[in-house]
Amino acid sequence: MENIKSWLLAIASGVVLAISWPETFFESTALIFLGLSPLLKLEGKLSKEHKKAGKAVFGFSYLSFLIFNLITTWWIYYASAWGAVAAIVFNSLFMAVVFWLFHITKQKVGRKEGYISLVIYWIAFEYLHLNWDLSWPWLTLGNVFSNSPESVQWYEYTGVLGGTLWILIANLIFFQLGAYRKNWVKSAFMTLFMLAFVFVPMLWSKSVYKNYTQDSKGEMEVVIVQPNIDPYKDKFSGMAESDQIDLMVELAREKVDEKTDLLVLPETAFPQAYWEHEVEFLYGTEELRKIIDDYPQMRVVVGLSTSRLFLKDEELPPTARKLRDIGYYDNYNTAMQLDSTEMIPFHRKSKLVLGVEKVPFIKYIPLMKKLSINLGGAAGGYGSQEHPTVFFNENKTSGVAPIICYESVYGEYVNKYAKDGAELYAIITNDGWWDNSPGYKQHLAYARLRAIEGRRNIVRSANTGISAIINSRGEIVERTEWWVPTALKGKVQLNDEITFYIKYGDYIGRIAAFVAVLLVLLTIVKTLNKTEQRLKVGRK
């Protein structure tokens, strides 16, 4: 019976975490404050029953996080069955290791220190997951509020890791309520404390949401194109390039006029791979130039795949490959800007999708090039640029951030655009890889958090997902429907404000990572001391 109870607690934790997530079956966001409580209760139960409960804690926590990952990210299967298995299995493993590490620290260092370590380890893990080669921050706990922007307006100070901190502490408080069941005074106090801890930030945020007015630097009229070209059947093989571009030009011309300042087309709108030194002569470039000739005040942001040729004396990136006897080249997922001038600036995608655009640790293990998945990209993975590019107008008075697809999930990275002068975020994406599933809906929802963190308006052009205009409160002002070829037209506000989060980024994560190292060292020292004491007793 006790074993069944353990299984039920583990399953309950995974299910509660999952159904709190955006775009799942129920999306009961408030449940996130309780999601870890069954697993915490199970850890306490196992610790009492077994002196060496580590294996059991790891096994049951892995089950919980496997359920959580499976229910929330199963849709990766549409793009790659192996990719889905790898993401779900390994991300669950990482989470289980974090929970196991908390258990070990609690056992070796102390109960109070143990529960504190859970908060530290988890945030440190999420920070690592934003910054290493196996990065997959889709399930960062703070992302759960992406469809409830009115509750987290304070993300402009903390970013999503502030939300993770909030969730973890609330779970610990709720878990502690069970320890005071026989003492109604302490139980009542802890209940009130929990309610205050959850609702005070939420109520303050709702007040900010209601009263926030942006100190606008100006206004811009934008047109966003959603061509709805199937990425599996048409975009990269079935439909002629000229037909795709003609469709987008037709949709654009239905909306643009002499007041339009910015036209945004999606990721890989030009579907083939092109040499960067030849982009001026492409069919797509020529057709967009014709629109600009008619409306010279307008500039265009468009996505494409490019290749760059490296000269013999240039330093080669790890992803570069040999081009016969000519030299070396690299492939990129790129955004470029066209306007009435001859200059064509590029932004080469920096945050690449693991396994599709990026092979992990390729810098250290070159043979890893052969393990990439081909989704209309380059075999062996894409190259990237370390720092993003901001697209300015001719007189440098307004900057647009060309954020390509997956880059929009990284808050601190997006901050770099704002620091370099971006007053508007333009997200270009495909979003057609995952069929009609929660994937593209979650991707849109996460963009709402970027709007709050940077207090920037967002224009989002998706090939087959949802295109939208999002204001600086994270509110979706206008949006398209799924699987509909269309164009949106609207006005957005420009903002050059530097929020606290833009200035300091993921400081919560950096602090947690530093403290986590100290906690691990303390746990190791305590373990060695206890082992030494047992050996001394044994000798006597």
The per-residue pLDDT for range 216-261, each reduced to its tens digit, is: 789 999 999 999 999 999 999 889 999 999 999 999 999 999 999 9
pLDDT grade, residue 490 (50/70/90)? very high
Lowest mean pLDDT among 153-157, 292-296, 329-333, 535-539: 535-539
The more confident residue out of 21 and 314 is 21
Round to the nearest angstrom and report the end-to-end CA distance of the chain: 41
pLDDT at residue 376, rounded to an integer? 41
Q: What digits encode the pLDDT tens for the residues 322-370?
A: 888 778 999 999 999 999 999 999 999 999 998 888 888 766 666 555 5
User: Closest Cα to residue 501, out of 410, 401, 407?
Assistant: 410
Q: Same domain, yes or no, for 521 and 457?
A: no
Residue 336: half-sphere exposure toward Cβ, Cα within 13 Å: 27
- In this prediction, what percent of the chain has a pLDDT beyond 70? 95
Residue 377 in this model has a pLDDT that exceeds 60: no
Full 3-state SS string of 367-385: HHHHHCCCCCCCCCCCCCC
Q: Same domain, yes or no, for 148 and 191?
A: yes
Interval 31-41 mean pLDDT: 97
User: Which range has highest mean pLDDT (82-96, 178-192, 523-537)?
Assistant: 82-96
Q: Same domain, yes or no, for 410 and 295?
A: yes
CATH of the domain at 336: 3.60.110.10
For residue 174, give both structure tokens: 């709720």
pLDDT grade, residue 394 (50/70/90)? confident
424-to-32, 217, 412 alpha-carbon distances in Å: 32, 11, 16
The more confident residue out of 194 and 21 is 21
By the 8 A CB rule, do 335 and 428 touch?
Answer: yes
pLDDT grade, residue 2 (50/70/90)? low
Residue 183 in this model has a pLDDT that exceeds 90: no
Q: Same domain, yes or no, for 297 and 444?
A: yes
pLDDT at residue 483, rounded to an integer? 93
Interval 3-14 mean pLDDT: 95
Lowest mean pLDDT among 36-40, 190-194, 272-276, 329-333: 190-194
pLDDT at residue 396, rounded to an integer? 82
Domains in the chain, number: 2
C-alpha 299/C-alpha 341 separation (Å) is 10
Return the number of other C-beta atoms located less than 10 Å from residue 154's C-beta: 19
Interval 28-48 mean pLDDT: 95
Interval 130-140 mean pLDDT: 96
pLDDT at residue 533, rounded to an integer? 76
Q: Same domain, yes or no, for 203 and 317?
A: no
Q: Same domain, yes or no, for 73 and 160?
A: yes
Return the number of other C-beta atoms located less than 10 Å from residue 371's C-beta: 13
pLDDT at residue 498, rounded to an integer? 96
pLDDT at residue 378, rounded to an integer? 42
Q: Same domain, yes or no, for 204 and 223?
A: no
Q: Same domain, yes or no, for 120 and 165?
A: yes
The more confident residue out of 52 and 366 is 52
Q: If you average pLDDT over every residue of the chain, what do you get?
A: 92
Q: Same domain, yes or no, for 476 and 370?
A: yes
C-alpha 465/C-alpha 487 separation (Å) is 13
Interval 470-499 mean pLDDT: 96
Residue 529 in this model has a pLDDT that exceeds 90: no
C-alpha 231/C-alpha 239 separation (Å) is 10
Return the number of other C-beta atoms located less than 10 Å from residue 534's C-beta: 10
Interval 395-406 mean pLDDT: 93
pLDDT grade, residue 190 (50/70/90)? confident
Q: Same domain, yes or no, for 186 and 262?
A: no
Interval 48-57 mean pLDDT: 87
Going by the DSSP 8-state scheme, the letter that residue 51 receives in this structure is: T
Q: Same domain, yes or no, for 228 and 262?
A: yes
Residues 6+ apart with CB under 8 A from 394: 339, 340, 341
pLDDT grade, residue 379 (50/70/90)? very low
C-alpha 454/C-alpha 452 separation (Å) is 6
Q: Is 538 exposed, middle or buried (0-12, 13-18, 19+ CB in 10 A)?
A: exposed
The more confident residue out of 6 and 371 is 6
Residue 373 in this model has a pLDDT that exceeds 60: no
Q: Residue 321 sits in which domain range?
A: 218-502
Q: Same domain, yes or no, for 200 and 317?
A: no
Residue 150 in this model has a pLDDT that exceeds 50: yes
Residue 219: half-sphere exposure toward Cβ, Cα within 13 Å: 5
pLDDT at residue 375, rounded to an integer? 41
The more confident residue out of 461 and 355 is 461
User: Closest Cα to residue 404, out of 343, 344, 447?
Assistant: 447
Rg of the Cα trace of the chain?
25
> In the chain, what is the greatest distance between 2 CA atoms, to the nearest angstrom?
94
pLDDT at residue 133, rounded to an integer? 92
pLDDT grade, residue 540 (50/70/90)? low
Q: What digits encode the pLDDT tens for the residues 408-449?
A: 999 999 999 999 999 999 999 999 999 999 999 999 999 999
C-alpha 193/C-alpha 185 separation (Å) is 12
